[in-house]
Structure 1
């Protein structure tokens, strides 16, 4: 069983930033992805609360795990959306007991502050924020001086309320570099240039099975889509062969059946006909 003292802590991640070490981070959804990330030596994982479990924590091994707390219509906790600060705190404590190391929260500053005041390591979000997308559209944020300043001010406010880090998504590279160098928070860069503290990608992009739009910052290292298509074709072929065997009587063959001794079968027939 993985225990807390065998994997990185908040202090360890902060020390990596202080030393200038680059942090690798992946968003994963399956036990296989989590286990592969651990085996490869990925530093941090992002796992939504709906995918997080004791089994997922075990699979993640020594990876530092950020658990995503559901926000608004993006998910539920124990059957209902999180609405109040107490809801978020209850969810954070629940996932902490399961082995979560820090917690993504896209709620308001007052909710984030309450979590921080309760010593919960919180990762916020600045730049392009999917849950707030109606305000910006899907585009880079911070390409004007005014927008870049607004992002910077958000970062300083999050720092002031005690956040551990923030996802820094789709901002210009020089803006990302300035922010990362001038905040104590861990800046988890997703399309924010090479100077962000961490480089954060989705496993589905890395493995090449993304459906639909693939963001500019994504990099694909394997073509799982082709392998999944091959496997699906093999499934269909195997099922067709099974149907054919059923029709012709080739399945089940003698080796698939359970035998009964002749004398026992004869006795059974006598009893059944009595």
Structure 2
């Protein structure tokens, strides 16, 4: 039976009632697998959420899309983009931009998700790709960032690589939903990338992630089998083993004779 996709109101009503599951995936096959597995929330690229087949694959998954602020353009540009995505079937929009941009989008009734902690597009301001909030001053700043996002109208915030104590305290004190990527179990959703879960990420597995399968090894095995099959085909052609009689069409002998007579010089 097809699941009903939750609304923003549904997700907010569930705050404090346990954790949702959240994935970043990029293909229709992954979307269909997430739907079958009962995943609650997803972050997907724009070209996937706008694919007309996407909602057939993942009808019950609350699906967020977006752009990092360096590629988003002006607030008006981003608002137009948000409208296109919502019309295509997105449930919410990710925004790593300024509070002013978040507020501008929220005023136009765009369901906005912010980002705090380790934000890749802003990592230079927090010391690079490392945990954020390990000092009291940083942790206090994180709390105020989340509070300001809530006041600006964001309904959720991705909180990435933040000490568990900090995320726990913020979640208990604010109404905004916290979607944790490496920020502990006291948030409202646990967020991982499908490539890490499936083991297709061939670089270093992030500390906050867990690999549940080793698809990379399976892909390597399939590639070796692909090469072997192509090599055997080439060898069969070289020695005359392919094509065999079963692989060709033949003529009736009488038609063959008539054909030869017809082309005789």
Please, what TM-score do these two structures have when normalized by structure 1?
A: 0.90
Q: What is the CA deviation profile of residues 197-245 of structure 1, one whole-angstrom value per residue up to 9, with x for unaligned ones?
A: 1100011111122121211111111121221111111111111111111
Is 1:231 aligned with 2:229?
A: no
Matches within 5 A, 1:37-186: 37-52=34-49, 53-72=51-70, 81-135=71-125, 136-186=127-177
Give, in whole Å, the separation in 1 of the partners of 2:87 and 2:253. Answer: 60
SS in 2 for 1:110: helix
Q: Any conservation in 2 of the 1:35–1:61 contact (CA below 8 Å)?
A: no
CA gap of 1:8–1:247, structure 2 versus 1, over 3 A, is: same
Give, in whole Å, the separation in 2 of the partners of 1:90 and 1:260. Answer: 63
Q: What is the CA deviation profile of residues 17-47 of structure 1, one whole-angstrom value per residue up to 9, with x for unaligned ones?
A: 14x2211001101111111110010111110
CA gap of 1:249–1:145, structure 2 versus 1, over 3 A, is: same
The residue aligned with 2:242 is 251
Output the aligned Cα RMSD. 1.8
SS in 1 for 2:14: helix
Deviation at 1:142, TM superposition (A): 0.3
Q: 1:218 aligns with which of 181, 200, 209?
A: 209
Give, in whole Å, the separation in 1 of the partners of 2:170 and 2:52. Answer: 35
Give, in whole Å, the separation in 2 of the partners of 1:273 and 1:64. Answer: 71
Deviation at 1:270, TM superposition (A): 4.1
Structure 1 spans left out of the alignment, 5+ residues: 73-80
Q: Aligned pairs, how many?
A: 262
CA gap of 1:151–1:241, structure 2 versus 1, over 3 A, is: same
Q: Any conservation in 2 of the 1:57–1:100 contact (CA below 8 Å)?
A: no
Structure 2 spans left out of the alignment, 5+ residues: none
Deviation at 1:171, TM superposition (A): 0.5
Matches within 5 A, 1:3-22: 6-18=4-16, 20-22=17-19
